């Protein structure tokens, strides 16, 4: 049977007369990823909201006293400055803006592709930038407006995650296979100066340069290397303790090096060949930038600016939202419904929509919940990065981490709950540049964690459902960001949870690269592809029973009291089995235009009578289903 996607697929409007109610912004956040100090102000920019907001924080008055929006971009990871001029590198698109901090005016001065990961100023007054997905290094000259490209830092890699420059050399930190490339600014000649013993790392993710001292943070081992640029062959290795995997910020200050690590959220000082733990503002803190002004040590985090008192070893913080950079609707990442609330996750938090009062509050989370699974009086979260396992109550209280998946996994992709065995199931994607995702079985009754890597061979695992002790898994040929597919098409796998045994594997739809949803409904297995196809399988054998076209893009499925539903972020549709075998597909609600981060989002109310999904950036409830 051949089922091909059709751009002109016509889906009839159903006979249901649903009622759609908006519950307000699905998730609202003040989240930042970068900061730069110019004069006496700390400048930062929001990410994941539209439009992005640039703000100047006064550390004395504890307020954001200057703020304006940019007309383009979804956020920023890159800032630097020359004198009083601030330069910001954006993503989607990769625009470079110059901000005159004396007047607060901003102007777009260049564009380097779709994503600027890193920028730095050179001693002679130029701006260099590292980009994705071309893995390239670019230069902008503010004096003339001219741009130039040095091309890919190294062939085959997509990310220049960090960058630094002196009078003669640009240093580009590369991933997903770690390299530190030194590029001659005059000739463009380049060499990899990362010692071979670190070639198994994924990223040179952080760089800081002062004079002839160059410090580099390596992932995923939380290692810092300190180079002398006059002899790059023998860096000093500084290994952070306690299992931290990322060095997110490095600041050089005379003989001292200050660094922040994740996931512990710890601030360290490296001095006289010794690493000293200074403290942590909170568990999981993400240091975007560390500032040193005389005896004052200050850091900008995801949504705060904190001061560190070394005498007492304590931090005091100012919330940027309360200081004048208020939360704004963001692109949601996951959705779940409990008897008392609807939960929507985003950057660094969970939005809790109280069904009784209509109020919306936010619970801070040091990461991004990619999956949320209500079980009884608890909600279980699969959190990116580091594929961490968290737990909280439906009202957002009691949030805590209780486990990690490990096994080079970083991104949970889907989740399900098997009530019979009291097992929470997750599917995952591996870390950048790695292969083979996992099926995770977290046994909630015993606490035992089972991780089955490669159970969907040579793929990441994109989707999961469970029925009668069998887990059904949808694969994706792209294992992780920065990898090339091994297989020509994705597969679907049935896995016996009790015997830890694959029962069958099939590639039901020719050319499918990813199965974005799987659902077990009325004795059949429904699977959808990222190119808009639907296959119906016999769950006992994996045999293709029927199929049809849903549209042209990925979708998610959910089961309600009145049937099987799904969304492709454009509309909500219903899938109805028929006597002929080919299911009927009808549109229930159209015109969603969902602005989501990642996969389409839909879930069913606790009683099965309503659906929740995203319209624009609002949470909506759909009732009147039959």
Whether residue 564 is found in the same domain as residue 526: no
- Residues 521, 610 within the same domain: no
Unique residue bearing structure tokens 């002899």:
231
The answer to whether residues 319 and 462 belong to one domain is no
**pTM for the structure as a whole:** 0.92
> Could you give the 3-state DSSP secondary structure of residue 125?
coil
If asked whether residues 578 and 620 sit together in one domain, one would say: yes
Residue where a domain terminates, one of 554, 574, 590? 554
- Domain boundary residue among 554, 581, 602? 554
pLDDT score recorded for residue 417? 98
Q: Which of 301, 328, 329, 327 lies closest to 315, judged by CA?
A: 301
For residue 499 the two structure tokens come to 């015997």
In 3D space, the residue among 419, 420, 409, 330 whose CA is nearest the CA of residue 616 turns out to be 330
Q: How many domains does the chain have?
A: 3
Q: Which of 570, 593, 476, 606 is nearest to 528 (CA)?
A: 476
The domain in which residue 242 lies consists of 30-323
Q: Per DSSP, what are the bridge partners of residue 20? A: 622
Indicate whether 334 belongs to any domain: no
Strand order in the sheet with 314-319: 289-293, 296-300, 304-309, 314-319
Considering the domain boundaries, does residue 110 fall inside one? yes
Taking the C-alpha atoms of residue 171 and residue 125, their distance in angstroms, rounded to an integer, is 16
Contact between 428 and 411 (Cβ < 8 Å) = yes
Same domain as 592, residue 502: no
Give me the CATH number covering residue 413: 2.130.10.10
**Residue finishing a domain among 498, 532, 554:** 554
Task: Tell me: do 412 and 508 sit in the same domain.
Answer: yes
Q: Is residue 588 part of a domain?
A: yes
CA 93 to chain centre: 17
Confirm whether 273 is domain-assigned: yes
Judge if 501 and 589 occupy the same domain: no
42 and 68 belong to one structural domain: yes
In a shared domain, residues 444 and 494 = yes
* 544, 572: one domain: no
Q: Quote the CA–CA distance of 478 and 462 in Å, as a whole number.
A: 10
| Residue 5, pLDDT score | 45
Q: Output the pLDDT for position 248.
A: 97
167/290 same-domain check: yes
Q: Return the pLDDT at 294.
A: 87
The whole-number pLDDT of residue 9 equals 47
**Do residue 307 and residue 440 come from a single domain?**
no
In a domain, 59, yes or no: yes
Below-70 pLDDT ranges, the chain:
1-15
In a domain, 56, yes or no: yes
Tell me how far apart the alpha carbons of residues 604 and 609 are, in angstroms, rounded to a whole number: 8
Would you state the torsion angle of the CA atoms of residues 588, 591, 596, 600, taken in this order, to the nearest 10 degrees?
30
Strand partners, 505: 493
Give domain status of residue 34, yes or no: yes
Structure token pair of residue 615? 């319209």
Q: What is the pLDDT of residue 581?
A: 83
Whether 563 is in a domain gets the answer yes
Q: Which of 107, 145, 147 is nearest to 131 (CA)?
A: 147
Q: Exposed (0-12), middle (13-18) or buried (19+): which is 224, by Cβ within 10 Å?
A: buried
């Amino acid at each position: 049977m051949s089922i091909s996607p059709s751009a002109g697929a016509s889906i009839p409007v159903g006979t249901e007369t649903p009622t759609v109610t908006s519950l307000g912004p699905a998730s609202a956040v003040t989240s930042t990823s970068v900061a730069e100090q110019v004069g006496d102000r700390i400048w930062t920019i929001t990410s994941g909201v539209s439009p992005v907001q640039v703000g100047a924080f006064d550390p004395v008055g504890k307020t954001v006293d200057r703020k304006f929006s940019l007309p383009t971009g979804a956020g920023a990871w890159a800032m630097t400055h020359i004198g009083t001029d601030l330069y910001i590198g954006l993503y989607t698109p990769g625009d470079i803006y110059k901000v005159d901090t004396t007047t607060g005016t901003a102007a777009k001065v260049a564009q380097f592709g779709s994503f600027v990961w890193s920028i730095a100023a050179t001693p002679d007054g130029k701006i260099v930038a590292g980009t994705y997905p071309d893995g390239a290094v670019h230069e902008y000259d503010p004096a003339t407006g001219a741009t130039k490209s040095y091309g890919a830092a190294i062939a085959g890699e997509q990310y220049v995650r960090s960058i630094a420059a002196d009078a003669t050399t640009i240093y580009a930190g590369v991933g997903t296979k770690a390299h530190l490339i030194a590029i001659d600014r005059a000739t463009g000649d380049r060499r990899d100066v990362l010692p071979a013993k670190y070639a198994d790392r994924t990223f040179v993710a952080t760089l800081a340069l002062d004079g002839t001292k160059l410090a580099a943070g390596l992932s995923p081992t939380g290692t810092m290397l300190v180079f002398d640029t006059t002899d790059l062959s023998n860096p000093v290795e500084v290994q952070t303790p306690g299992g931290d995997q990322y060095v997110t910020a490095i600041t050089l200050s005379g003989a001292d090096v200050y660094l922040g690590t994740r996931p512990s959220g710890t601030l360290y000082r490296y001095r006289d060949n010794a690493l000293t733990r200074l403290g942590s503002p909170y568990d999981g803190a993400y240091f975007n930038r560390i500032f040193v002004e005389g005896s004052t040590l200050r850091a900008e985090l995801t949504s705060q600016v904190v001061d560190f008192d070394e005498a007492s070893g304590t931090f005091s913080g100012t919330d940027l939202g309360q200081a004048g950079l208020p939360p704004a609707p963001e692109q949601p990442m996951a959705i779940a419904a409990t008897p008392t609330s609807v939960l929507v996750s985003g950057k660094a938090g969970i939005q809790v929509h109280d069904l009784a009062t209509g109020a919306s509050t936010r619970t801070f989370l040091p990461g991004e919940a990619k999956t949320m699974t209500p079980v009884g009086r608890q909600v279980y979260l699969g959190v990116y990065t580091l594929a961490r396992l968290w737990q909280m109550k439906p009202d957002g209280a009691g949030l805590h981490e209780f486990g990690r998946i490990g096994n080079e996994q970083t991104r949970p992709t889907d989740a399900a709950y098997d009530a019979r065995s009291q097992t929470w199931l997750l599917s995952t994607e591996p870390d950048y540049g790695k292969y083979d995702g996992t099926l995770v079985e977290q046994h909630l009754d015993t606490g035992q964690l089972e991780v089955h890597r490669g159970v969907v061979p040579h793929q990441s695992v994109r989707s999961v459902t469970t029925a009668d002790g069998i887990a059904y898994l949808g694969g994706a040929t792209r294992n992780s960001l920065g990898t090339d597919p091994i297989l020509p098409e994705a597969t679907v796998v049935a896995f016996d949870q009790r015997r830890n045994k694959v029962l069958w594997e099939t590639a039901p739809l020719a050319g499918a690269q990813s199965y974005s949803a799987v659902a077990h409904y009325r004795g059949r297995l429904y699977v959808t592809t990222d190119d808009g196809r639907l296959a119906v399988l016999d769950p006992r054998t994996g045999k293709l029973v029927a199929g049809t076209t849903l549209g042209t893009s990925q979708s998610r499925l959910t089961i309600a009291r009145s049937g099987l539903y799904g969304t492709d972020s454009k509309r909500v549709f219903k899938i109805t089995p028929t006597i002929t075998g080919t299911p009927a597909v009808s549109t229930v609600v159209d015109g969603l235009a969902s602005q989501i981060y990642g996969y389409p989002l839909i879930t069913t109310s606790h009683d099965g009578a309503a659906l929740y999904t995203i319209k624009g950036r609002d949470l909506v409830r759909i009732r009147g289903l039959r």
